[in-house]
Chain A
Amino acid sequence: MTQLRIKEISLHVLKELRKFNKPIEARDLSKKTGLEYEVLMTQAIHELQTLESPLVDFKEKEVTELIPTEELKDYVKNGLPERQLVNFLVDNQFDEISIEEFQTLMEMDKSFFFIGLTNAKRNRWIMQSNATDSPTIYLNNQEAPLSNLEKLIEKFKRETVTVEELPKELKDEVNQLLKRKLVTKKTYTNRTIILTELGKKIDLDSFMVIGEEIPRLTAEMLSDGSWRENIHKLKKFEVQNAGPRLCAGKLHPMTVLINKAREVFLSMGFTEIKGPIVESAFYNFDALFQPQDHPAREMHDTFYLKHPAKAKLPSKKIVNAVKKTHEGGGNSKSLGWGGKWSSEIAKRVLLRTHTTATTIRRLSKIAQNKESLPVKVFSLDRVFRNESVDATHLAEFMQIEGIVVGKNLNLSHLKGYLTEFYKKMGFEKLIMHPDFFPYTEPSLGVTVYVETLGKWHEMGGSGIFRPEVTYPLGIKEPIRVLAWGMGFERLAMLSLQRNDIRDLYRSPLKWLKEIPYN
């Protein structure tokens, strides 16, 4: 058991209680300990009673105290008027006496005399004879027994009389006292203090008295060695309480998630790539075999730039190959889109709508540099869509993309990579179903099962780049390109528990500080 810490005053009270060793009324204890009643109750008793293992307890009782009047105090000393009358008769050996004479001899206030006379008669201590003209009194019995009322008055010889502790027969006499205006009533709460079992046996020397404690271990205590005698006086902390919030540095949860995905790619042998955000329509759309009149290229989906407005196109070789592929399939054996391909449209400058633009730039170097295969690259970077920003939409977000370039790659391999990638990202169950993307064939959509939500979530797309995309870049059969990607915020919203997607980017600081990494 750890050392108990109590106030000095409480220890003092505890010692008194142990000395007394019986239940005691609080007022009495107050006198014994010399403490003010209020101080005793609100400080010492309160502390002793509210310790984790209480040392004292108390019982409360409503009590009615009878306060004697001066008249009663006189009777307590000298007896009631009726007793005084009887005593007079006995002491003076009067067998019979007329009331007139009795009154004269008694030298008593007339009204008290008659009260006494009436009550003595009612108690059958005396009798009255009306045989003569003047009535006479004679003793009924030599030994007038104590009346109940007298027994009650006897009690007032002690300190206090309370109605509750009187025996039944005496309780009935209380009204008599009240009627004779010999007492007044006062009602209050009585608190009886008792030691608990623990309080009865606890070692009184085992306490640490508050006030002697030392707030902190100081350098002086360490250098002069005084910590030895003071170590037990060191302030004890409420270790179960939380401390104040730390003002600390912390990575943004998006960074933590992004790094997790990057690590997954790295572990699978992928190299990170980075490309321009301000991009040409050529790399963003044309090189991906996106027809020039495709709705996705329109203003309401893409941020076009007024400044800079025109990009330079890459080498004539690549541009011509792309042009021919659009118009009639080029050497890709495709029918193409027909119509005329415009280099002016391809020169438009925009904020890239997907990182695939960067992927294409990377792919265009493979044939050029005669790189050995496979080439495995990934990117995790910013992309833009011309959307109004609200709680569920962003105009810019992070996109994850992975690419494998190799010989005879096929749909099974794509499923293999997707299974491995999503497993490492924490999704064991996934469905890979047919889907459509303009620049892949075949295409797969990926739906994952999110354990924490118990729900399936559409996560991303994937596919094998169309020959119309790879041939102009010099990547030809049997070399194929697997690609998969997803919007990163989707993943983030699943694990970061925000209702408003904008919060990922405006970082409510309280949330940043409290959000666990997972």
Chain B
Amino acid sequence: MPTLDFTIKQMSKLVGRELSIEELESDLQWIALDIEAIDEKDGVIKVEYQPNRPDYSSPEGIARALKGYYELEMGLAQFEVRENSDLICLVDNKVKKIRPYIVMCAIKDIHMDEEQVATLMNIQEALHHALGRGRQKVAIGVHDFDKVNPPYQYTTVKPNAIKFRPLQMEKLELTPQEILEEHPKGIEYAHIVNQFEEYPIIFDRDNNVISFPPIINGILTTVTDKTRNILLDLTGTDLRLVTYSMNILVTTFADMGGKIESAKVVSFDGTEKCYPDLTPEKWTIKKSYINSYIGLELTSEEMIHCLKKCRMDAFPGKKKGTLEVFVPAYRSDFIHEVDFTEEVATGYNYKQIEPVLYEGGSIGSYHPIFKLQDKVKQIMVGAGYLETFNFMLTARETYKTLKIPFDEKHNVIIDNPVSKEYNTTRTMLMPVLMRLLQFNRSEEKPIKIFEVGDVIIFDASSETGATQKLHVCALTHHSSAEFTEIRSLLDFLTQTLGIWNDLEVKPSDNPTFISGRTGEIWIKNSRVGIIGEIHPEVLENFGLRFPVAIFELDLSLVLPEKDQQLE
């Protein structure tokens, strides 16, 4: 989850009253901020915010919410947007299929200190990541306004048609193509544009390169500590997210003291629109709906008060029992009326909401498969075996170590494993139990362990292509471990489960086991398991110095079909 650092001093200044670390430590959680770390010495608080609140990516954004929480300032925050008829961005038809949307605007008279520059970088990164999906949907360019002249032109160029000096490689004049191949940002983001025949570009009036979105800006508009006027460009593939990102940026600049001047975007289809458009979004919500969701009976006034604390404006609606709510332009996490329950609950304060016991009677029960699992665990523990708890992920290599054939067609294969150790799921418990034994091989003997758990079997006929089965596997490992010992355990288990009369062990041959000391376990004409003494070659493979006798049994036969149903 994204994080943000701010100092207590900075926050006190923004909120407009003295705050203490202790105060924020207990209050921030009620506006959905999670404290990650506190540096008491330097008075720095690191908070974690939720991805649906990118407006929390700046101290200014958090201060806005806190002012509401402390009722220092309620309702919509006010931002002035001046129109500047000179600021025009002309959009070429050619961008339509490549990167169709652009919005621009200017921020005037801004004097950013070090903290504010850091804030700007943090927001930019947060927006690129959370809303921009790695600059795919939204990319942001910040420029020195005074270095270029409007009207600006958003168009595309052939990969090698122009040359300009990009940021971070100021000394070289490169073509867009060369930037994608050589520039670090070019290499990182090439995948967004390199499938197109032309690349997006922003020129000024005199065809100076302002930016090659979403990759890199030209050096011409580099922002320095002397920059007083800023030009913003945001391009992307989702207009809603592009304008939303711009709103978050400009409102933060405005809170830093900058003056917003809008720019007119003249689209290839002839439409014109000025950005930013900070008109609040209007929603109509039903009071009873919200109340019933939270378990409150708030009056209109009370609910309006709650919403104002969350920096929204609200008024009684035209229709009885409704409210008209105006959502600030820097928030766009509303897609359903239900989203207002959280706002009202936050304004009311979550901690004030009483826990109520729901009077819905019902009778509980365990799932039959888990009941069987519990029963088998009890039997095995009674027989003196230690329960183990293993991963379901395992390695194909382990099957080889056990001399059990691994058939790609009948196993689950993970497409994107992190490591070779976990590239498949277990089809039997034996590999994971043997691995566990290997890990514990220097422990005191005798070692008698078992696991009861699910294995996953490929099954083309099932809905998701695989089925789960409950297996039990047990092994004994000590200087005189042998077949008879584990056979006795199998008898005890099957007897207690009431299936011993149907049990038959048929001699078999198998490279995992010693010939003449292994067999297949059959119950009522079905092969349900295997039992035997592990072959010394396999013991050597696992680095074991004492014999191992082991059995594995599929328990699904014990349960009637209807009890094996999964959801």
Is A335 an interface residue when CB atoms closer than 8 A count as contact? yes
- Whether B444 and A404, one on each chain, are in contact in the complex, defined by CB atoms closer than 8 angstroms, is no
Q: Specify which chain B residues have a CB less than 8 angstroms from the CB of A310 in the assembled complex.
A: 465
Name which residue of chain B comes closest to A408, CB basis.
B292
The reply to whether A272 and B365 contact each other, CB–CB distance below 8 Å, is yes
Q: Give the distance in Å from the alpha carbon of A406 to the alpha carbon of B292 in the complex.
A: 13
| Residue-wise interface mask of B (399-428) relative to A, using a CB-CB cutoff of 8 A (1 in contact, 0 not) | 000000000110111111111011001000
CB interface residues, A 478-518, toward B, < 8 Å: 478, 480, 504-510, 512-513
Stretch at the interface among B144-152, B330-338, B546-554: B330-338
Is B73 among interface residues, defined by CB-CB distance under 8 A? no
Given A249-B383, A335-B336: A442 in contact with B567 (beta carbons within 8 A): no
Task: Choose among B392, B417, B440 the residue that contacts A396 (Cβ–Cβ < 8 A).
Answer: B392
B566-A274 in contact (CB<8A): yes
Contact indicator per residue, chain A 409-444, by CB within 8 Å of chain B (1) or not (0): 111110111111000000000011111100001111
Q: How far is the CB of A258 from chain B (nearest CB, A)?
A: 9
A134 to B51, CA, bound (A): 136
- With A269-B361, A311-B464 as given contacts, are A249 and B32 in contact (CB-CB < 8 Å)? no
Asked if A82 is an interface residue, CB under 8 A from chain B, the answer is: no
With A and B bound together, what is the CA distance between A248 and B50 in angstroms?
Answer: 49
Interface string of A258-297 (1 = CB under 8 A from B): 0100100111111111111111100000000000010100
B235 contacts partner chain A, Cβ-Cβ < 8 Å: no
Among A373, A434, A506, point to the contact of B32 (Cβ < 8 A).
Answer: A434
Decide if B567 touches A362 in the complex (CB within 8 Å).
yes
Beta-carbon contact of B295 and A410 below 8 Å: yes
Q: How many whole Å from A199's CB to the nearest CB in chain B?
A: 45
Selected from B339, B358, B380, the residue in CB contact (under 8 A) with A404 is: B358
**Is B458 close to A, CB under 8 A?**
yes
B364 touches A252 (CB 8 A): no
Nearest A residue to B51 via CB reads A436
Answer whether residue A158 sits at the interface, using C-beta atoms and an 8 A cutoff: no
State the Cβ distance, A305 to closest chain B Cβ, in Å: 6
Contacting residues of chain B (344-370) with chain A, CB-CB under 8 angstroms: 345-346, 350-351, 353-358, 360-367, 369-370
Q: When the two chains form their complex, are residues B463 and A268 in contact, meaning their CB atoms are under 8 A apart?
A: no
A409 to B359, CA, bound (A): 10
Interface assignment of A201: CB less than 8 Å from any CB of chain B: no
On chain A, the residues within 8 Å of B465 by CB distance are 278, 305, 307-311, 349
Chain B hits for A300, CB < 8 A: 416
Chain A nearest Cβ from B396, distance in angstroms? 12
Instruction: List, in ascending order, chain B residues with CB within 8 A of A126's CB.
Output: none
Contact A413 B392 (CB under 8 A): no
Contacts of A93 in B (CB 8 A): none
Instruction: Say whether A276 contacts B381, CB under 8 Å.
Output: no
Write out the residue numbers on chain B whose beta carbons fall within 8 Å of the beta carbon of A179. Answer: none
Q: Which residues of B contact A512 (CB under 8 A)?
A: 386, 388
Question: Number of contact residues on A: which range applies?
Answer: 35 or more
In the complex, identify which listed stretch (A109-117, A161-169, A213-221, A463-471) lies at the interface while the others stay far away. Answer: A463-471
> A170 at interface (Cβ–Cβ under 8 A)?
no
A433:B32 contact, CB within 8 angstroms: yes
Which residues on the B side are within 8 Å of A309 (C-beta)?
Answer: 415, 465
- Chain A residues within an 8 Å CB radius of B160: none
* Distance, CA A307 to CA B466, complexed state (A): 9
Q: Does A125 contact B (CB under 8 A)?
A: no
Q: Is the CB of B336 within 8 A of A333?
A: yes
Which residues of chain B come closer than 8 Å to A271, judged between CB atoms?
362-365, 367
Contact of B366 among A248, A262, A466 (CB under 8 A): A262
Docked Cα-Cα span, A308 to B408, in Å, equals: 10
Chain B residues whose C-beta falls within 8 Å of the C-beta of A280 in the assembled complex: 463-464
Residues in B193-219 with C-beta less than 8 Å from chain A: none
Q: Which residue of B is nearest A443, CB measured?
A: B342
B479 within 8 A of A: no
With CB as the reference atom, state the residue of chain B lying closest to A332. B336
Q: When chains A and B are docked, how far (Å) is the Cα of A268 from the Cα of B385?
A: 32
In the complex, chain A residues whose CB is within 8 Å of the CB of B342: 434, 441-443
User: Known interface pairs A250-B387, A406-B360, A436-B51. Does A396 touch B393 (Cβ–Cβ under 8 Å)?
Assistant: yes
Select from chain B the residue with minimum beta-carbon distance to A296. Answer: B51
Bound-state Cα–Cα, A480 to B292, Å: 11
Q: Which of A304, A351, A375, A464 has the most CB of B within 10 A?
A: A351
A274, B567: Cβ atoms under 8 Å?
yes
B292 & A478 in contact (Cβ 8 Å cutoff)? yes
Q: How far is the CA of A309 from the CA of B412 in the complex (A)?
A: 9
Interface size on B, as a range, is 35 or more
Determine, out of A183-191, A203-211, A379-387, the stretch whose residues face the partner at the interface: A379-387
Inter-chain contact A303/B414, CB cutoff 8 Å? yes
Interface: A105 (CB within 8 A): no
| Bound-complex Cα distance A364 to B133 (A) | 32
Point out the residues of chain B lying under 8 angstroms from A270, CB to CB: 362, 364
Asked whether, in the complex, the Cβ of A278 is within 8 Å of the Cβ of B412, the reply is yes
Q: Is the CB of A312 within 8 A of B463?
A: yes
Complex contacts, B86 vs chain A, CB 8 Å: none
- The DSSP consensus for interface residues of chain A is mixed
B106 touches A (CB below 8 Å): no
Q: Which residue of A lies closest to B445 (CB)?
A: A247
In the bound complex, how far is the Cα of B460 from the Cα of A311, in angstroms? Answer: 9
Given A262-B366, A362-B567, A387–B390 Cβ distance below 8 Å? Answer: no
A5 touches B (CB below 8 Å): no
Q: Is A245 an interface residue (CB 8 A)?
A: yes
Q: Are A395 and B294 in contact (CB under 8 A)?
A: no
Contact status of A255 and B336, CB under 8 A, knowing A272-B365, A411-B341: no
Quick check: B415 and A306 within 8 Å, CB to CB?
yes
B337 in complex: contacting residue of A277, A305, A333, CB < 8 Å: A333
B367:A436 contact, CB within 8 angstroms: no
B391 an interface residue at 8 Å Cβ cutoff?
Answer: yes
Q: Which residue of B lies closest to A347 (CB)?
A: B464
* Nearest CB of A to B392, in Å: 6
Residue of A nearest to B136 (CB): A293
A70 vs B550: C-alpha distance when bound (angstroms): 87
- State whether A251 and B293 are in contact (beta carbons under 8 Å apart), knowing that A271-B365, A505-B389 are contacts in the complex: no
Check: B516 CB closer than 8 A to any chain A CB.
no
Which residues on A sit within 8 Å (CB–CB) of B309? none
Q: How far is the CB of B71 from chain A (nearest CB, A)?
A: 18
In whole angstroms, what is the CA distance A376 to B365 when docked?
10
Smallest Cβ-Cβ distance to B440: which chain A residue: A509
Cβ-defined contact, B566 with A507, below 8 A: no
What is the CB-to-nearest-CB distance from B339 to chain A, in angstroms, rounded to a whole number? 6
Alpha-carbon distance A252/B370, docked complex (angstroms):
15
Query: Which chain A residues lie closer than 8 Å to B393 at the CB level?
Result: 384, 395-396
CA distance A409 to B32 in the complex (A): 22
Which of the residues B30, B382, B444 comes within 8 Å of A434, measured between beta carbons? B30
Asked if residues B367 and A441 are in contact (CB atoms below 8 Å), the reply is: no
> Does B374 reach chain A (CB closer than 8 Å)?
yes
B463 touches A250 (CB 8 A): no
The answer, yes or no, to whether A78 is at the interface (CB within 8 Å) is no
A106 interface contact, C-beta 8 A: no
B29 at the interface (CB under 8 A from A): yes
Instruction: Verify B355–A245 contact, CB threshold 8 A.
Output: no
- Name which residue of chain B comes closest to A312, CB basis: B463
How far, in angstroms, from A314 to B463 measured CA to CA in the complex?
A: 8
Given contacts A374-B360, A396-B392, A411-B294, 18 further A-B contacts (CB under 8 A): A250-B387, A255-B377, A268-B364, A275-B567, A276-B468, A277-B454, A303-B416, A305-B465, A334-B335, A382-B392, A384-B393, A387-B418, A411-B341, A412-B353, A416-B358, A432-B350, A434-B346, A507-B440
What 10 pairs between A and B have smallest CB-CB spacing?
A308-B465, A412-B295, A436-B50, A374-B360, A410-B295, A415-B355, A278-B466, A249-B381, A412-B356, A272-B367
Question: What are 15 contact pairs spanning A and B, CB under 8 A?
Answer: A247-B384, A249-B383, A249-B386, A274-B370, A274-B567, A303-B417, A308-B458, A338-B240, A358-B566, A435-B32, A443-B342, A447-B29, A468-B336, A507-B390, A507-B436
Q: Which B residues have a C-beta under 8 Å from some C-beta of A? A: 29-32, 34, 50-53, 133, 240, 289, 292-296, 335-339, 341-342, 345-346, 350-351, 353-358, 360-367, 369-370, 374, 377, 380-393, 408-409, 411-419, 421-422, 425, 436, 439-440, 443-444, 446-449, 454, 456, 458, 460, 463-468, 566-567
